[in-house]
Structure 1
Amino acid sequence: MAFPLEQRCTLLCMILLLSAANYCYSQTYLSKATYFTTDDGMGNPTGACGYGQYGKTANGGQVFAASGRLYQNGAGCGACYLVKCKEEGLCRDGGVKVMATDSGEGPGTDFILSYRAYGKMAVPRMASLLYSLGVVDVEYRRISCHEAANLVIKIVEHSNYPWYLAVVPFKQGGANDILSIELNEKASDTWTAMRRVYGAVFDFQNPPLGELKIRLSVNGSDGQKWVESDKAAIPKYWKAGITIKTDIQLN
């Protein structure tokens, strides 16, 4: 079956876009990694993503501060990578799965790993030698954090009902990056964009009253798309500090 030239060009562009997305999520890249220390070897609860205590304990404390190109002005918060160091005789073949909860970089490094995550790259009884190197060559690729699960959002503590609403979404699974968030008062047909304040934190001055639905623009291995809650995600009388499990799944 023959297609007109315009249709053939459109089909070709779609194929190239899909191929590029799949390539990005399966390709292995080279970089360097170092580590930071905390009292317990886990994450930093004051990390740039705004996750708070979740940024400390997420993924069992195997977290990292991402370089600018992985952090992506906050869109890369919550992304997971498989990182393998290249020091022969010191590093495990399996590498370590880490989650981005902060931003930072050194000379040539894309990953500043938590002390715990950095040590997990070593073969048994070789962690001390790996730590002594300080910076190591690594290969890495993007992976899903977990199996698909419902998105959880937290109303940030400095929110002030009903005049100021700030939320932080916690990606519970999949490999989707959250690019933007919009709100819709349940009785309205109008979607209004929230502002990305920093990291994964979005806010809204004088938000709509009533129950609020949310939708997210996400980018993942299957390209960019909108995902929307089927029912109200934020209650009419929301309170600062509450955590809400939505009906949105990120694949």
Structure 2
Amino acid sequence: MKTMASGVQARSALNWLLGSILLLCGQLRHIAGQQAWAVTDWADAHATFYGGTSAQGTMGGACGYGNLYSSGYGVQSTALSNALFNNGLSCGACFLIECKLEGSKYCYPGKSITVTATNACPQGSEGGWCDYPKSHFDLSFPMFQQLAQPVGGVIPVRYRRTSCNKSGGVRFSMSGNRYFNYILVTNVGGWGDVSALAVKGEKSGWYSMNQNWGQFWSANADLTGQALSFKVTLGNGQSQEFYNVADKNWQIGSTYETDYNFS
């Protein structure tokens, strides 16, 4: 009986050990498989700056936001390397960034910044730092200057995703024509990055929209004369419906804002 009990205990211990190993492997696979743009724990990257000391050169860009002041982003912005840009679906995402003191003498101690992704840093630019699969932030000059002395040029940083705190509601800018809805989404709070968009007329069902480029979305539907509602889904899966954002007399070239935002 003593031998049998010892055998049961041994098998039990072995099963526990195997279970623990499998659980650990699963966690490691999850960490390893997490995409660079989605990290919520700290990850390593590098940063440079662009756009001039006034950040004038950061206006426009691959997300389609145009004038970053009028679209609500200002100079608290960054361009993302290919590994982070996610074909434009990372546009609007917010990142908390710190300079790694152990990696550069130019870092300011205890400093961090929060920036919104508003542009792409193309392959071959910044001396190859933006090339895949490198995680890299090409910051506006005013934001880089908060982390390190500009003479540092390229600095090692650590980063993680953070919630976007935006003033006012989500904004939908209308362009295209009556048969081609072409909508730019800006000023999104919460996770910030729109991964799916749908539009609904007061007399229609929901039309799923396609990402055209950056944060421009399109759908072939004639919704003239109908009040418009929108369903926005973020990269973390959070979704909200915003009803009657634009009244039935909405116009091409106008921007409409919701009464509330993601938090």
The Cα RMSD (Å) is 2.8
Distance in 2 (CA, whole Å) between partners of 1:116 and 1:42 is 11
Asked if 1:194 corresponds to 2:220, the answer is: no
Read off the aligned partner of 1:45 and give its amino acid letter: M
Could you say which residue in structure 2 is the equivalent of 1:3? Answer: none
Counterpart among 232, 248, 259 of residue 216 in structure 1 = 232
2:81·2:136 contact (CA, 8 Å) conserved in 1? yes
1:121-160 map, 5 Å: 121-122=147-148, 130-146=149-165, 150-156=169-175, 159-160=176-177
- Structure 1 counterpart SS, 2:161: strand
**Taking structure 1 as reference, are residues 41 and 173 closer, same or farther at Cα in structure 2, changes over 3 Å only?**
same
Could you say which residue in structure 2 is the equivalent of 1:78? Answer: 92
Could you say which residue in structure 2 is the equivalent of 1:227? Answer: 240
Asked if 1:168 corresponds to 2:181, the answer is: no
- Structure 2 counterpart SS, 1:227: strand
1:41-120 map, 5 Å: 41-42=55-56, 44-54=58-68, 58-86=72-100, 87-88=104-105, 90-104=107-121, 106-107=128-129, 108-120=134-146
- Structure 1 counterpart SS, 2:169: strand
Length-normalised TM-score, structure 1: 0.76
Length-normalised TM-score, structure 2: 0.72
Question: Identity across aligned pairs (percent)?
Answer: 25
1:227·1:248 contact (CA, 8 Å) conserved in 2? no
Q: What is the number of residues matched between the two proteins?
A: 218
Distance in 1 (CA, whole Å) between partners of 2:71 and 2:200 is 32
Consecutive aligned runs of 4 or more in structure 1 exceeding 3 Å deviation:
55-60
Identify, as 1 or 2, the structure richer in strand: 1
Task: Return the offset for 1:243.
Answer: 1.6
Rg comparison, structure with higher value: 2
Distance in 2 (CA, whole Å) between partners of 1:63 and 1:43 is 12
Read off the aligned partner of 1:82 and give its amino acid letter: L
Distance in 1 (CA, whole Å) between partners of 2:70 and 2:109 is 24
